[in-house]
Amino acid sequence: MNDKEQPAKRDIGQLYTALQQYDCIDEKPVVAGDFNWNIIWDESPSPSLCGDFDAVRTQLEAVGVVSAYHHCTDTEFGDESDPTFYMRKQENRPYHTDYVFAPESALDAKSMTVGAYSDWIDASDHMPLGVDIDP
């Protein structure tokens, strides 16, 4: 998360860097996990990042790979109403920082779920994401 040697490659910069280095992007991969980022922070990282969330999303969408949450809920990035992370497990500090990007053609419009705080907070500060993907 915090790359002290190369701070521009921390957080979402790690994923951006990986997408630049690996040639599997054209094979329409599933990219899932804790991105430690939301597009709402793209304008104010300090220090600057080598690539922000919008750059990652643009690169994935260019090959038909989309965020399952945003695709299935028809929600704009930054307007998420289902938190996936609670800072220090505090219910009053919700963020959407976990994602599943998958080929749009493999997603059913109603196949996305986010675990509820009350069901999962004892296990983790992150909520599970459920996605049905049609290979």
pTM of the model: 0.90
How far is it, in rounded angstroms, from Cα 48 to Cα 112? 32
Q: What is the pLDDT of residues 6-45, one digit of tens each?
A: 766 777 888 888 888 887 777 888 999 999 899 999 888 7
Contact at 8 Å (CB) between 31 and 98?
no
Parent domain of 72: 7-105
Q: What is the pLDDT of residues 58-72, one digit of tens each?
A: 999 998 999 999 999
Residue 24 lies in a domain: yes
Half-sphere exposure of 12 (CA within 13 A, CB side): 23
Residue 12 lies in a domain: yes
Residue 111 lies in a domain: no
Contact at 8 Å (CB) between 83 and 94?
yes
Q: How many structural domains does the chain have?
A: 1
Alpha carbon distance, N-terminus to C-terminus of the chain? 31
Q: Let me know if 16 is exposed, middle or buried by CB neighbors in 10 A (0-12, 13-18, 19+).
A: buried
